[in-house]
Homo-oligomer: A and B are copies of this chain.
Amino acid sequence: MARVVVDVMLKPEILDPQGQAIVGASDRLGFSGVREVRQGKRFEVEIDGEAGEAELAEVRRMAETLLANPVIEDFSLRVE
């Protein structure tokens, strides 16, 4: 069994209001030095067998279809 992690983040040019809420709250709580926060999603995908080329291609297709909207989000995947 192998684990593939898929990180999904809003594209950099798209504003993330909830990340900004966290920056504002951090400042108020006295956490100085936080310049920006962006919130995304992390998926841990457990697959049978090894994470070979074919399996990674499958997880990539799955990410494009079910995990991320490529118009507004970027994603990356890696084996852990």
Interface of A is mostly: mixed
Q: Are B67 and A17 in contact, with the CB atoms below 8 A?
A: yes
* Cβ B31 vs Cβ A20 within 8 A: no
Q: Quick one: CB contact mask for A37-49 with B, threshold 8 Å, 1 for yes?
A: 1111111111111
A28 partner, pick from B7, B25, B55, B67, beta carbons under 8 A: B25
Question: What number of copies of this chain does the assembly contain?
Answer: 4
In the complex, the answer to whether A46 meets B41 with C-beta atoms within 8 Å is no
CB of A53 to closest CB in B, whole Å: 14
With contacts A66-B22, A66-B29 taken as known, whether A43 is within 8 angstroms of B49 at the C-beta atoms is: no
Question: A72 an interface residue at 8 Å Cβ cutoff?
Answer: yes
Q: Is there an interface contact between A42 and B9, defined as CB atoms closer than 8 Å?
A: yes
